[in-house]
Chains A and B, each alone.
Chain A
Amino acid sequence: MADRAGGTAPALLALEDGSVYRGAGFGAVAERAGELVFNTAITGYQEILTDPSYRGQIVLMTAPEIGNVGVNAEDFESARPFCAGFVVRSLSPRVSSWRAEGDLGGFVAEHGVAGIAGIDTRAVTRRLRIGGAQRAVITRQVDDPSGAVERARKHPTLEGRDLVKEVTSAKPFEWDQGPWQTPGTKRNDPPARHRVVAYDYGIKRGILRRLRHAGCHVFVVPAQTPAKDVLAEKPDGVFLSNGPGDPAAVAYAVAAAAELCAAGKPIFGICLGHQILGLALGGKTYKLKFGHHGANHPVMDLTTRKVEITSQNHGFAVDVDSLVGKAVLTHINVNDNTVEGMRHDRLPVFSVQYHPEASPGPNDPAYLFARFAKLMDEAKR
């Protein structure tokens, strides 16, 4: 049924509110469940699929034509996809890109992600926007829709779940690779002059590449690494990465971050790292109705009053009121005024909720990595 593009295996997308959409399955044959979120980025499905922050989630792309440029390893944000499922309106019947190494359907199949195509993704998105985030399943068992709905309802919610431990690397590793450049253009990564220890809560390679581009040599450590071990590395700065799920569920990370702050190290946090920092500074976090997932969110830098277009992917946010007296608000979301960035008023510590590494999305906020490097320069003086 549906588009030839979507394959021919009948599949279901069932939501906890009882909604059932029929489409064509692709990727893993096995049933997958998770929190269903939509992402409004037009380009960048490869980066989204391989972003560990989507652990435990089913990602729905609002852009209707997906898979057009296939997949290539250079654009991966980690070694493999981490989301549970992938929902699209139309799966490309053909790959067209000089960079492609494979097709999307084959890639998700290989990595056990369940896909479904031919879905009215706009209707589903509207449902999530109006009703809030929902758990869902993608299944090939198409004869029992109410069973699928039941299984969606039984699936655990994200709140209170530590998903970081499921995605963090088992061992520390070094990183020394800059961002993607059009072949033929001169490589322009400066020499590495700072040593940064980066906590891997599910870190995106885009961040590592950007840190490298800002002149950092990066040593990546697992999420559970105690602060003292990090300090033993004598880093010039510490980076707190993005990652999946509820920041309140990773107390160990919050504790480590608090210790590192106290040690006076320059610290930069992104996304989950920002939320962890918020908690470490004594703030609170809360779950958003349906989160921000896309590549077009305007963020205002309150110092310059300039707006940058940003890539975002978060379901939780730092409570602005809880920060009073603890941190200075530096960036806000122009659409809904939620916290997008903060800094400590004395310590060399700052963070943003959005993704300055883009991947996918606009590079407008890439300057933040240089800001981190500058903090480290100042700290060295």
Chain B
Amino acid sequence: MPRRTDIRSVLLVGSGPIVIGQACEFDYSGTQGVKALREEGFRVVLVNSNPATIMTDPELADRTYVEPLTVDMVAKIIERERPDALLPTLGGQTALNLTIELAKAGVLDEFGVRLIGAQVAAIEKAEDRDLFKQAMNNIGLEVPLSGYAHSLDEARAIQVDMAAKTGTAYPVILRPSFTLGGSGAAIAWNAEEFDAKVDWGLQQSPRHEVLVEQSVLGWKEYELEVMRDGKDNAVVICSIENFDPMGVHTGDSITIAPAMTLTDKEYQVMRDAALAVIREIGVETGGSNIQFAINPKNGEMVVIEMNPRVSRSSALASKATGFPIAKIATKLAVGYTLDELPNDITRETKACFEPTIDYVVTKIPRFAFEKFPGADATLGPQMKSVGEVMAIGRTFRESFGKALRSLEIGRWGLDLDRVPPLDELERVIHEPGPDRLWQLAEALRQGLSIDDAFALTAIDPWFLEHLQALVREDEAARQDGRKLLDDPVSLLRRKRMGMSDRRLMKLAGVKEEDVRQARLRHGIRPVQKRVDTCAAEFEAYTPYLYSSYETGNEAEPAAESEARPTGKKKIVILGGGPNRIGQGIEFDYCCVHAVMALREDGYETIMVNCNPETVSTDYDTADRLYFEPLTREDVLEIVDAEQPEGVIVQFGGQTPLRLAVPLQKAGVRLLGTSADAIDRAEDRQRFGELVAKLGLRAPAWGTAHGLDEARAIAERIGYPVMVRPSYVLGGRAMEIVYDAAGLETLVGRALEAARRESLASGGGKGDESAPILVDQFLDDAIEVDADVVADGHDVVIGGVMEHIEEAGIHSGDSACALPPFSLPAATVEAIKEQARALARELDVRGLMNVQFAVPRDGRGIFILEVNPRASRTVPFVSKVIGVPLAKIAARIAAGKTLREMAVREVTPKHVAVKEAVFPFVKFGGVDVLLGPEMRSTGEVMGIDRDFEAAFAKSQLAAAMRLPVPTDTPLCAFIAVKDSDKQAAIPVARTLIAQGFHILATEGTHARLAGAGIPCERVNKVHEGRPNCVDRIVDGDVHLVVNTTAGSVSVRDSFSIRRTTLMRGLPYYTTMSAARTAADAIARLKSGAIAVRSLQEYQHG
């Protein structure tokens, strides 16, 4: 069947901000979707609240709406744009849920919008547990036994019944129904725990309902990625085996493709089942992910779940096989069948086949628990990782080793910082946490047998055997010491096992360069292989490459390399590596833009990255893709194979920046801003000199190697001070300290973080005794960000952003507005002038971001930080001003000038607000208070003609649905610290004027009442019941303003914030944000907000 002719325009729904469980893989799929639709001549209307995405580039879709993903807003878009169809399967769970809501609200029917890809019935069949169970039974497949309980008695009855059927009483999984973000699944190991956790679960669930489910803990876990077309052709794209068995969310598991431990007979049973599932659920066209669990003792198989859409796993499968699932799914949705679509990589064959691979792919998740003290770091049924790396090698060991060194966590192999004794290791590996892999390896190193390791972890012995071989090789290398440099046979064997030069360096006690030199001397070099979907059965035309240490054909001079570099002028762009807090999709956006610009200018672009979620690792993005670790070792090999004009490090965030100096020292030509300029900005001493030279101001500071030094500096500067490690990302371990006692508790943590970050850097700065910085902290200051682009001669201001939260909240965590909403024009001008001076002095050739603080007391402008590279705000600014800053910067790096490109400063007539999105819901026990350490995972943008409306949209998009009283009054709860009480008065007045009733605790109440504001007093948590938390739980409260200072009051008010969060209520923990929110509510009350596309904002 060819392309449908009954549809002319398609609405595509994105996945919104990056959150845990939904990251940039949906930008990858959405971008493929938009491109595929445009290629087929459809008019594409796109909606996504996330400005850091490639898919929301105004050049991509016909109409791009950066608007909140809510029924109301999308209905308005549908009303304006009248799309013929909606494609709901590329935007993750968010798009799927929104689509169901739109259908149920009658919006789709009202405007005659057809669903393509998956219908509501299919989505519901896949998502609703009962319907799913019924569907699986219809086709003779088993699912874990389960039942819904509304009381402990009901739960017990279900458990007894399941125990009788399975022969196993415990463990049992308990899942509270309808919790926010599906949070709160628990495992009960015995009757006592069962009772307690059922009670807890019933309380957690807004419907007082818990699903009691058979545990298949320890069973082998598999996923199949399946595609189906309108003619009912169905194929399996990839099989994935989880290293971590059932019990750990697949997003938190190490996963391997293809499946490693199934016989063909078992695999075909699973394949048949997967095809039966996609047919029974009724996904008409597109991709689905189906998860299975297999009992390792007897092969018994159960279906765990099915996602009737593209997913994180399908992104991984696409990267792992070279088969572009999202692109093909889109084409199938508009009528094509698999046999009509070409396989891009082989060109001569069709997309109707099953990829076969002749390498092994390993994915390892990356966690961020260090950012969330108090969070439970145990891995379980709810996903907690923030990013992932993927590596390709010719064998499991090689790919595994490459994945390990891609992680950038300061480990270059199976090494632990602290080596616990075996009994402790045995205990910790039984309860999976983020470090289990390394702990397990250490236990094997200390002699734990594979049988015992299996008993403790249920990890398949096949993986354990390889892990044991790797630690044995580690020890052999350690034994060899320096000698290993002169032993080519062992060295080659170790490289073939995936060991990094740096790991060998550490084991042998030599320098990394020694290992590299030894390799070069012995001719031990990797070769490049191609990902081709077909195990070399057909020629691969697409240069999607990975490296491997191979042995050669004696009849030829060297092992076969398929790099086949061209003679064109080429530039290497280094990507951002795994997503983490502080470095995410924004940097991938910049890398992709750099690639696009240089491609347009006729360069051959070469992308290097190891993050499978990204657009940058789509083989379509750059001319050549190297799916490789971003380490000195691996990048130097690529540079050697390709011989590019130069390498660009300024777009991928801290990851490539750390490589700048080491690469330059190794003779690589860096394009753009010099490594020295980067160093001048990052090195605190040199930064101080820079600021002084320009006659500008920065907060006073000092460098400390220990507590005594830190104390001396703090006394010199005066409290409060900011303590942080040097050379860090996302304000890691950054704290504001108000007194000497606080300093004492925090310095240790900062020193440890400094050490780890420094070791992780891999550059020349690796230092066991990295210092910390102690800075003057500017209380009550407005923070301002400026993004500029410069060419060594001219400087253009991209945007000046005024933060809504005051200085002291990490810039990545605060909301900000472009253009500024309260700063005097003269201040903005002065800020621009300072930014220009800095760019000129640093001879910036590309992007630079400067952070300023402007104290409200009129002390002037202080420079907090200068980063001569792409910043997190570049995509936001680019979208607001309609100027692609990253593209311009890339062209400057390649030699063009601003004048040549006619780049001018743009002052937008509209206002945009960027708001941060946090993962607090996923981390029980974590406070939501903001601070200098970044903890947000993603961002949204609200854009409108006035600041208040833009802010309101940003809140809505960030799931802070601002309440607007209509006929019945709503209630705002206000409890603020003493220094904020004065500021609370106007906020309360504004809220009352909109129809709010004010609830306040004692101190706040007294102050508000004293100012003549009518308000109701409510008990604090320890003042007896009902207290403020009870009122929140009872649903009496609709908005919470809670600021606090001092560890005692923070502890006391913790439950207020946590309860507010779990109830999904909007809350503000700074007065500046509360004030803005109150104004935004007033704006919402005064009239409905409208939707408008980016294209309209930019072209009138």
Contacts and interface: CB of A to CB of B under 8 A. Distances in A.
A9 interface: no
Interface stretch (B92-100, B552-560, B1081-1089): B552-560
Contacts of A21: 551-554
Contacts of A309: 235, 353-354
A346 interface: no
B358 A64 contact: yes
A69 B262 contact: yes
Contacts of B301: 182
B260 A68 contact: yes
A347 interface: no
A129 B350 contact: no
Interface in A159-187: 180, 182-184
Contact of B258 (A5, A22, A38, A63): A63
Nearest to B343: A335
Nearest to B551: A120
Contact of A42 (B300, B353, B356, B460): B356
Contacts of B359: 64, 122
Contact of A75 (B264, B269, B271, B460): B264
Interface stretch (A79-87, A194-202, A356-364): A356-364
B361 to A, nearest CB: 11
Interface string B773-810: 00000000000000000000000000000000000000
B349 A335 contact: yes
A90 B231 CA distance: 39
B452 to A, nearest CB: 15
A43 interface: yes
B566 interface: no
Contacts of B360: 64-65
B555 A18 contact: yes
Nearest to B465: A94
A69 B263 contact: yes
Contacts of B534: 40, 296
B383 interface: no
Interface stretch (B15-23, B159-167, B291-299): B291-299
A2 interface: yes
B353 A65 contact: no
Interface string A40-80: 11111011000000000000001111001100101100000
Given A121-B358, A300-B339, A334-B352, A180 B555 contact: no
Nearest to A185: B140
Contacts of B297: 98
Contact of B358 (A2, A43, A92, A122): A122
Interface in A247-306: 294-298, 300, 305-306
B339 A296 contact: no
Given A41-B356, A97-B263, A129-B537, A4 B469 contact: yes
A40 to B, nearest CB: 4
B624 interface: no
Interface string B294-310: 00111111000000000
A306 B268 contact: no
A232 interface: no
Given A22-B551, A307-B338, A362-B354, A44 B264 contact: yes
A120 B264 contact: no
Most buried by A among B268, B355, B360: B268
A346 B522 CA distance: 69
B903 interface: no
B243 to A, nearest CB: 13
Interface string A98-126: 11000000000000000000111111011
A99 B263 contact: yes
B299 A182 contact: yes
Given A94-B461, A123-B560, A182-B301, A65 B396 contact: yes
Contacts of A212: none
B264 to A, nearest CB: 3
A363 B268 contact: yes
A22 B552 CA distance: 8
Contacts of B552: 21, 120, 123
A180 B272 CA distance: 14
A96 B261 contact: yes
B520 interface: no
A129 B536 contact: yes
Contact of B300 (A41, A120, A184): A184
B613 interface: no
Interface string A1-33: 111110000000000011111110000000000
Contacts of B349: 334-335
B395 A296 contact: no
B352 to A, nearest CB: 5
Contact of B395 (A90, A129, A298): A90
Contacts of B189: none
B394 A89 contact: yes
Contacts of B271: 362-363
A335 B350 contact: yes
B496 interface: yes
A34 interface: no
A226 interface: no
A215 interface: no
Given A96-B460, A120-B551, A297 B232 contact: no
Contact of B536 (A93, A126, A335): A126
B493 A120 contact: no
A145 interface: yes
Nearest to B257: A42
Contacts of A17: 555
Interface in A316-346: 334-335
A65 B466 CA distance: 12
Contact of A294 (B239, B356, B497): B356
Contacts of B265: 74-75, 99, 180
A166 B271 CA distance: 35
B1059 interface: no
Given A40-B356, A69-B262, A129-B536, A94 B462 contact: yes
A92 B337 CA distance: 39
Given A4-B469, A23-B551, A75-B264, A96 B537 contact: no
Interface in B296-349: 296-301, 338-339, 348-349
Given A68-B261, A93-B465, A96-B462, A362 B353 contact: no
Most buried by A among B263, B267, B460: B263
A122 B529 contact: yes
Contact of B353 (A62, A298, A358): A298
Nearest to B464: A94
Contacts of A359: 264
B535 A62 contact: yes
Given A75-B263, A92-B462, A184-B300, A122 B394 contact: yes
B240 to A, nearest CB: 12
Nearest to B562: A126
Contacts of A358: 264, 268
Contacts of B397: 3
A307 B233 contact: yes
A23 B538 CA distance: 25
Contact of B339 (A93, A126, A294, A298): A298
Contacts of B460: 96
B350 A64 contact: no
B231 A47 contact: no
Nearest to B473: A4
Most buried by A among B299, B354, B355: B354
A2 B465 contact: no
10 contacts: A63-B258, A65-B396, A68-B260, A93-B466, A118-B551, A122-B359, A122-B536, A126-B560, A307-B352, A335-B348
Given A2-B551, A42-B259, A68-B260, 10 more contacts: A44-B264, A62-B537, A63-B358, A90-B394, A97-B261, A120-B553, A145-B554, A334-B350, A334-B352, A363-B271
Nearest 8 CB-CB pairings of A with B: A44-B264, A360-B264, A96-B462, A62-B535, A94-B465, A123-B560, A43-B264, A296-B354
